[in-house]
A and B are shown apart, each in its own frame.
Chain A
Amino acid sequence: MDKYLVSPNPHVHAAVSTRSLMRDVVIALLPALAVSVVFYGWKELLVIAVSVASCVCIEYAITRWLLGKPSTTGDLSAVVTGLLLAMNLPSTTPWWVVFIGALVSIGVAKMTFGGLGQNVFNPAITGRVFLLISFPTYMTHWEMPAGLFGADAVSGPTLLGRVNEQGAAAVEGLDCWQTLFVNVGGSAGEISALALLAGFVYLLCRRVVKPWIPLSIFATVALVAGIFHLADPAVYTGPVFNLVTGGLILGACFMATDYVTSPMSTAGGIVYGCGIGLIVTMIRYFGSYPEGVSFAILIMNMAVPLIDRAFHQKKYGRT
């Protein structure tokens, strides 16, 4: 080189980029995706493929043709949104419903706010909630796992759905630990808590996320559910049941920890997590919906700017 570079310090950079972080999230989601494909077969694969492909294509179309800017799909954030959206949908969702979900996720929740980093609400959850409200039949119709590429599957409500209709008695005698490995009906993200946790441990090891938000969500859910369960075990389900069922683990580990829509400080993260945990249990116990993780995260997303204002890093020499 005949002309040397000149820049302010620092002159080296850590081997980390938006793309590498997103790639790690994709890798962390793989075990859970694999389990869901094994249980739901090609239908699930189709949902995942449609979701990811539509998210990426929609983002590309909006950035390139609507905004006339260079495409940002290379950062893989659209892939992550697509995967998370797919994991929140039943395997029986028709492809066009998945596409509408992707359109809302990327087009409405992400790009209208200015793209990655600007959105207030988690895109995947926004898409999912939109579908839940618009197409309740598709969204609450769960197919019972029938094995890889199995023929006729039985359909019915999820565990939480049953609890919502009949109270805690509906799941009496259920071995909660069993659901850690395979859940009884649900979306891809609800089927195997263990696979999700394995992915989350990977994220922790790679230092992509910090554990405080999920831990505070779990702690709050366990605490609140414990109190209610002690008060009236016949009506309110116990803490362990609440922790391992539904989308709590997926939501806490992968959706609530979304950088863009979560607080930046550790203390703020704990407040945010506690808020989510509280709202989840309230919706599950008293709401008309059987599951409330999505709503809880969306509600707390709104509080993030306030939390960020209230909680700051501990500064050096200023106590």
Chain B
Amino acid sequence: MAKVTFKIGGVHPDDAKLSRGCAIEVLPLPQTLYVSMAQHLGAPAVPCVAVGDKVKTGQVIAEPGGFISAFVHSPASGTVKSVGPRRDLAGNGVTHIEIAVEGDEWVEGVDLSEALVKEIPQDRTAMLDRIKVCGVVGLGGATFPTHVKLNPPPGSKAECLIINGAECEPYLTSDFRVMLERADEVVVGAAIMRRILGDCPCVIAIEENKPEAVKSVSGAVSALGYEGISVLTLKKKYPQGGEKQLIDAVMRRQVKSGALPISVGAVVQNVTTTLAVYEAVQKNRPLISNVLTVTGDCLPVESQRNFLFRIGMPLNYIAGYAGGVPGDAAKIVSGGPMMGKAVADMDAATVKGSSSILYLSESLTRRKPESACIRCGRCADACPMGLEPFLLNRLRKAGDLSGLEAGSVQDCIECGCCLYSCPANIPLLDHIRMAKGQVMGIIRERAAKARAAAEAVSPKEVTKENK
């Protein structure tokens, strides 16, 4: 089959999938777990346990704090030791529930067997509810609550479910290992989501640098015999795993600025999310674990690992278990080298969306001194959204907010291609991200004003429409 990719921009960083050969290992539980209340996009969850409470593995310990929010479950059995602010990996205080681990005794009603459950339930709402109650969020990076995404607003219909197995970030191999080792579950999960979305076609998209995963998933698709699921090989290009880029690559459609993917009939879910959906619907297992890669250019290949971790394990516990931080590591990143977050505090706990602990050496990661823009246009060539970062940076310097909006700064997906490719090492993305925030604020304010004005003019009509 012809390999496809997205049309605009993109870069080709060295993919350095050093840990691809490491099978997923299960991490033993530490003595204490710190479960963050802000593990997902949207409102933080609200703790529903008190200090001293006994909790079991998989028990709900926090409830959604809004429409876009998610349940959080206890990752182990034990006692709640404290509920209060603790520093996340950026060093900012976030409410955490501290659990003194006493064992791994699960709540009742969870199927802990390894057996594959092929039969898919018919009740769409029940499945969605299961996904919501099990706290499933998108594990590809944005951690958007999955049940919201799988429930398109009235009037829109999913035409294609894309399972994102691109894993275009260099170094990361967690999705790859999941596709290799848990292909059957991933395919059943895809079939479940397909059913929820009204039996739309489903494409599992995998980049060409993972031929083993393509083989294993294709094998599972044909062995399990579900209808409407196909595997598509993508050319290797970053940021292929970006939602908008993947939709362009697979469906040849582009999501309009400010619109949701569903507006072009697309729903994109990551492979690990798909696995979490399988576990939630078929096994009633809440999302309390995920796969994480311990890797980096300064970590010897034999020390690299792919771990199945429980949420709330501190990063330094995992790092210590894997043999400690290598001496020549200059930066520790949680996530991929292109979009991951630099870790300011290794005491920080893992969250649902944690995908790696990445050790980068100084020569690879330290930014080089900034020099003058030579107008080479590499940033514009690299931008997958077709923006002109050099221009945006100039407008930002001049404080021209309307110019920035005309330059579509709000469409920036913060993939880092501009800074990656800049020969003058200008911190383009750092500044553009700030400008984007400002412009988004203006756009939101304007929308709110317009809504208020519309309501003021014809309150009756608006209420009718709402009904």
Contacts and interface: CB of A to CB of B under 8 A. Distances in A.
B338 A10 contact: yes
Nearest to A313: B386
Contacts of A13: 367-368, 419-420, 425
Given A5-B365, A16-B421, A317-B244, A259 B377 contact: yes
Interface of A: 1, 4-14, 16-18, 20-21, 72, 75, 77, 115-118, 259-260, 262, 264-265, 312-319
A55 to B, nearest CB: 16
A182 B175 CA distance: 59
Nearest to A18: B423
Contact of A14 (B13, B328, B344, B377): B13
Contact of B386 (A8, A14, A115, A316): A316
B256 A9 contact: no
A196 to B, nearest CB: 21
Contact of A21 (B332, B376, B383, B387): B376
Contacts of A12: 13, 170, 337-338, 360, 364-365, 420
A10 B387 contact: no
A263 to B, nearest CB: 9
A4 B368 CA distance: 16
Given A11-B360, A17-B368, A259-B374, A1 B330 contact: yes
A16 B255 CA distance: 32
Given A316-B244, A318-B256, A6 B429 contact: no
A115 B421 CA distance: 22
Contacts of B390: 264
Secondary structure call for the A interface: loop
Contact of A315 (B338, B372, B411): B411
B373 interface: yes
Interface residues of B, number: 66
Interface of B: 8, 11, 13, 170, 244, 248, 254-257, 259, 327-333, 337-344, 358, 360, 362, 364-368, 371-378, 380, 383-388, 390, 408, 411, 414-417, 419-421, 423-425, 427, 429-430, 433
Given A315-B408, A317-B255, A317-B256, A10 B423 contact: no
Contacts of B358: 11
Leading 9 A-B pairs by shortest Cβ distance: A10-B416, A315-B386, A264-B377, A117-B372, A317-B254, A5-B331, A6-B342, A259-B376, A12-B337
A14 B430 contact: no
Given A6-B331, A18-B374, A317-B254, A11 B338 contact: yes
A116 B420 contact: no
Contacts of B420: 10, 12-14
